[in-house]
Structure 1
Amino acid sequence: MADLSTMKNVSFPIPSYEEWKEEVEKSLKGKPIEKLHSMTYEQLQLKPIYTSQDLQSLELEQYPGFPSYVRGTEPNEYIGKPWAVSQELFASSPKEWNEIVKHDLARGQTEIHLVLDRLGFSVTSLEDVETMFSGIPLERYSIRVDAGVCSLPFVALFVAYLQKQSLSLHHVRGTIGMDPLSALAVNGELSISLSTLYDVMADATKWAKEQMPHIKTIIVHGEPYHNGGANAVQELAFSFAAAVEYINECLTRGLTVDEVAERMSFSFAIGADFFMEIAKLRAARAMWSNIVQAFGGNESSQKISLHARTSYFTKTVYDPYVNMLRASAEAFAAIVGGANSLHVSPFDEAIRPADEFSRRIARNTQLILLEEAHIGKVIDPAGGSYYVETLTAQIAEQAWKLFQQIEATGGMTKALQAGVVQAEIEKIAKLREQNVKTRKERIIGTNVYANLAEPKPDIQSVSSPKDESCGGETMERNGNWVDSAIAFVHRRATARGIDAALAMTGSSVAISPIRQWRLSEPFEQLRQAAERHLETHGKRPTVHLINLGAIAHHKARADFMTGFFEAGGFAVMKNDGYMSTDEAIKGALEGDGTHYIICGTDESYPEAVPAIAKALKGANPPRNVYVAGKQPPETETAFVEAGVDGFIHIGSNCYETLVAFMKEMGVALDGAES
């Protein structure tokens, strides 16, 4: 037994990179280590391991709180101030919204967050705002209002409410922001001219500087690009291109760069690629610091305000409880990446408006990260990671190049008008969609491991009803847009009059909108088609497996086929395995199906497949016959000559195969009855 002094002098051996590489190549059986490299949607090549050598060319920041703020904008980060638990809240009426806000603030939410376009009701009058905020101590909580195209109507109503309640405007903190380019990208058009919207943006920013100094007035969203399928590089580049346009427009209207930059907030979606999303937020801080510095802004203005929301793009309608796991991983990435505030999407976001249970689970996800996982007790936990630091630098470099390309086209609006942004995003979107359809990108509970026993989801949309009413007084602008609107509201006028005054300035540009979608939609559409078929015909579209031999001989391929077809909502009829070709033919013909897949070993196929195929093709009516597994070309040729219709294997396009089967079975894919 070794004595204590001997153990004290023993150290762990440190292998060299070459020794590690040699061991890896042994496990690869002679294949080069490059086999372990992979390419991301950002066209960044990932290595299986990173070392200190990867950081030699990088200038790493040692401490947070100093330009370029990669490690954080404050020296003590979450230790000094935890991130804001900023769950987006919506309801069917102002009174219900007020009750929900009070309920959730008492249970851990720390910021009041509303998105006007998804609020569930229209905020049109001072009475609406009075009901919404009645009994809520605004001096204790920050507020985040995503006003969409234009913030003026809400700002006027909210300020009039504060003044009526004799609440100090200086005590209100947070964001009441507008983002017209985001709305343009999603909707394809604006009802108000961009010039007028930039006038409002500049006026609101000037007014807030003097009257509400702790309120930010501009939000720059990355979500429209992310939800269109954009990669991390594109999301950053397009967001910062929009931000620069806002700065330039405000500068021409008399503001300084510091006055504008300090009142901007950025909102990014956090997707499924854990380390990529961490690096994206770290790169965003560096990029914004460089941009503001180029405008001559001070260090305070170079500190970005980052809001994050877990991705809508990655959420699914089917097996929705898995969304809790997705959101947890995404929230973890957002916090490790250093977000200042966070919205965790409720697990039923893609299905219906959140209820008390789904709101509680989403909110508690954040509280667990804060109170139980203690993430906030370590500053920039990803800092110094060879992988994360390298990825951060690569994302920043590539995003900067793309950002400069957008600037070279004349800015974000011109790039949207020319379709440059849409084309760039659609290239990545199509690649993502193809990978989902071929199941290279797996979505648990949707294109793999589907659960056909789950209840059919009752899908409900979440939106704010448009106020289509007309009549009433139209606001007249006298000087500053904000002062005019506040005075207008104090006369008990409504937001409709403000909207009418803005609309009189003329319509804006029109573009091709960026398609907003979710990754799981292609397979969800197939599942819904199968469910409609079940309702109208009494059964799901069905495939029959012809399993050959003992379980060990067919199970792997039978399980693969089951998962393959259940992803489209098909029923899969199985058997325990036929011990002879005659038995297989007899069992198949008794099955009364239309589509059969033979599952067995490659060794069993040459004898069984031609005989089964000829028998099923000769039946009345003839059956469709497929073989599980890819075969050598000469074997496939022989099987096709015997009557086999095709081969299904890991390289097959799952989505296209399922669509073809549905069409052959008469399943209506467009919602119409077949």
Structure 2
Amino acid sequence: MRDKLFEDFRATSKSDWMEQVLKDLKGKSFEDTLISQAEGGIHIKPFYTREDLGAEFPLSTIHNQVNPIPSLPGLSPRQWSNTVRVAVGEQNEVSENKKLINALQTGADGLVLSLTGKEDLAVLLKDVEPSYIQIFIEPKDHVLNVAEVFEAWLESKNVDLNDVIGGFLWDPATVSLTLEFYRSEGLEVIKKLLVQFEKYPNFKTFTIDFAHYHHAGGLSFQELSYGFGAFLEHVDRLTEEGVSLELIFKNVLLKSAVGSDFFLEIVKLKVARMLIFQIANLFKHKLDPKSIPFYVQTSYWSKSKFDMDTNMLRNTTEAMSAIIGGCTALEVLPHDLSMGSSRDFASRMARNVSSILKEEAYLDKVLDPAAGSYYIEKLAEELFNRVINGILTVDAEGGWWSMSSLHDIQAEIKETRSQRQDELISGQSVKVGVNKYKQEKANASIDDESEMFDYQLNWSRHALKYELLNSSNS
């Protein structure tokens, strides 16, 4: 522009804005009227300015560092895979192969395979070309057997080693929260996976799992504090046993889940990326932030049995948080998963969410739209500080495995979960379709989430207690 029109307007400071706000409130309390509270007691102001931040933007080191620049010309700058889950279960490999091929032909470009090691992958993955999709492995049992079977299938495909993209979604820490699993066993498995798949540079085998804490009812700072607390302990132990930092960090895969607090979930993913980058720097290892793969699921915790339509809306906003926050692989859980099993319709709708956000909402056209937002940056600063304090607390208490063996982690998350569920019953928190704009009473069977032992920390749902009190079965 030739005419510098903005020169006609005087600069305004935060105090100027505050003066106008207080004038418009006409005597009402600013704190009581306009300051809200996010999960974990984080206070949200009605507006933020540059003055709320320090000399630098807290997230400046990872601005626009989301995914590698596409090598092919003409591709959108923002890339993520639309991932669908394949679990053989009682079905045979032939029927599951038809489902996954149909998914790959109708929008999906990533698979997460939930395997026991007994599957015939030649049948299950017939006509699947690993060079064109991302593949993630989630072992249900016998991790090394699963790894052996999967590697044998890769070798049978004669694929370029650089074209195998994905990773093992397996973290011994969170596995130990559902099954009796000990640190020495878990670290030995990680060591073997690191060596076994070292020849596949884009296939990661060292997952940091934040998602489990989320699905169990934990808060954002708890997810990151415990996830990184366990990771740091694993790194210390592995390096003591001779595993190089280079091998560890080039195999890191972040796994998270996003809930319904739209902005806070964006911030959570960004803080996680920033933290792993800074942790690598502390170990004097150079790590490119945009090279860090980030597998993100939508939330099981946020879903209700009372209102399936609202669950679809939640999936959409959660997927948006995941994309804007920086996921490189997105799994949208079916909106009826809270009912125990999903219909084909729900799976198709889940798969379509990612496609619509890419093809119709154009979220792939801007690399990092949240970079530089005063609100996002300030929220990131607050969450970052809470997570750092949480990591230090884990260390002071003897480490993740010590706290877990004493069941302190499990007890804290369960207490948080129960409090959040009780707030829904009392009306302190609002959930559309549950305690606000309620649907007619529905049948709500008791979920199979019983924790028979103190060491267990299973997935749960925010609305569970409310549903059991208000279902037509009660």
Q: TM-score, normalised by structure 1?
A: 0.64
Match of 2:174 in 1: 182
Deviation at 1:357, TM superposition (A): 1.5
Change (3 A) 1:95 1:27: same
Change (3 A) 1:6 1:332: closer
Match of 2:54 in 1: 56
Deviation at 1:31, TM superposition (A): 2.3
- 2:296 counterpart of 1:308: yes
Match of 1:626 in 2: none
- 2:103 counterpart of 1:109: no
Amino acid at match of 1:273: D
Indicate if the aligned counterparts of 2:316 and 2:353 stay in contact, CA closer than 8 A: yes
Amino acid at match of 2:370: A
Classify the secondary structure of the residue corresponding to 1:451: coil
**Higher relative contact order at CA 8 Å, sep ≥6: structure 1 or structure 2?**
2
Indicate if the aligned counterparts of 2:265 and 2:325 stay in contact, CA closer than 8 A: yes
Match of 1:243 in 2: 231
Match of 1:440 in 2: 428
Match of 2:94 in 1: 95
- Looking at structure 2, the residues matched to 160 and 22 of structure 1 have their Cα atoms a distance apart, in angstroms, of 68
Deviation at 1:80, TM superposition (A): 3.5
- Once the two structures are superposed, the pairs formed by residues 348-363 of structure 1 within 5 Å of their partners are 348-363=336-351
Match of 1:42 in 2: 40
- Looking at structure 1, the residues matched to 250 and 454 of structure 2 have their Cα atoms a distance apart, in angstroms, of 30
Moved over 6 A (4+): 5-10, 457-462
Match of 1:565 in 2: none
Cα RMSD (Å): 2.9
Match of 1:333 in 2: 321
- 2:459 counterpart of 1:512: no
Residue of structure 2 aligned with 1:29, choices 26, 29, 50: 26
Q: Which moved more, 1:394-403 or 1:9-18?
A: 9-18
Indicate if the aligned counterparts of 2:172 and 2:186 stay in contact, CA closer than 8 A: yes
- Structure 2 unaligned blocks of 5 or more: none
Indicate if the aligned counterparts of 1:84 and 1:110 stay in contact, CA closer than 8 A: yes
- Looking at structure 1, the residues matched to 228 and 291 of structure 2 have their Cα atoms a distance apart, in angstroms, of 14
Q: Deviations over 1:560-609 (max 9, x none)?
A: xxxxxxxxxxxxxxxxxxxxxxxxxxxxxxxxxxxxxxxxxxxxxxxxxx
Indicate if the aligned counterparts of 2:300 and 2:337 stay in contact, CA closer than 8 A: yes
- Looking at structure 2, the residues matched to 514 and 277 of structure 1 have their Cα atoms a distance apart, in angstroms, of 22
Match of 2:379 in 1: 391
- Once the two structures are superposed, the pairs formed by residues 140-539 of structure 1 within 5 Å of their partners are 140-147=132-139, 151-164=143-156, 166-167=158-159, 171-187=163-179, 189-190=180-181, 193-210=182-199, 212-300=200-288, 303-452=291-440, 456=443, 512-528=455-471, 531-532=472-473
Indicate if the aligned counterparts of 1:288 and 1:303 stay in contact, CA closer than 8 A: no
- Looking at structure 2, the residues matched to 283 and 33 of structure 1 have their Cα atoms a distance apart, in angstroms, of 29
Indicate if the aligned counterparts of 2:167 and 2:204 stay in contact, CA closer than 8 A: yes
Classify the secondary structure of the residue corresponding to 2:40: coil
Classify the secondary structure of the residue corresponding to 2:277: helix
Q: Deviations over 1:472-531 (max 9, x none)?
A: xxxxxxxxxxxxxxxxxxxxxxxxxxxxxxxxxxxxxx8522253101001211233xx2
- Looking at structure 1, the residues matched to 354 and 234 of structure 2 have their Cα atoms a distance apart, in angstroms, of 32
Indicate if the aligned counterparts of 2:446 and 2:468 stay in contact, CA closer than 8 A: no
- Looking at structure 2, the residues matched to 301 and 70 of structure 1 have their Cα atoms a distance apart, in angstroms, of 9
Amino acid at match of 1:237: S
Change (3 A) 1:527 1:161: same
Classify the secondary structure of the residue corresponding to 1:115: strand
- Looking at structure 1, the residues matched to 440 and 260 of structure 2 have their Cα atoms a distance apart, in angstroms, of 25
- Structure 1 unaligned blocks of 5 or more: 63-67, 117-121, 463-509, 533-668, 670-674
Match of 1:627 in 2: none
Amino acid at match of 1:418: L
Indicate if the aligned counterparts of 1:182 and 1:220 stay in contact, CA closer than 8 A: no
Aligned length: 463
Indicate if the aligned counterparts of 1:287 and 1:400 stay in contact, CA closer than 8 A: no
Residue of structure 2 aligned with 1:131, choices 101, 123, 126: 123
Change (3 A) 1:11 1:135: same
Indicate if the aligned counterparts of 1:272 and 1:326 stay in contact, CA closer than 8 A: yes
Classify the secondary structure of the residue corresponding to 1:182: helix
Q: Deviations over 1:524-552 (max 9, x none)?
A: 11233xx23xxxxxxxxxxxxxxxxxxxx
Larger radius of gyration: 1
Classify the secondary structure of the residue corresponding to 1:175: strand
- Looking at structure 1, the residues matched to 412 and 95 of structure 2 have their Cα atoms a distance apart, in angstroms, of 42
- Looking at structure 2, the residues matched to 94 and 20 of structure 1 have their Cα atoms a distance apart, in angstroms, of 63
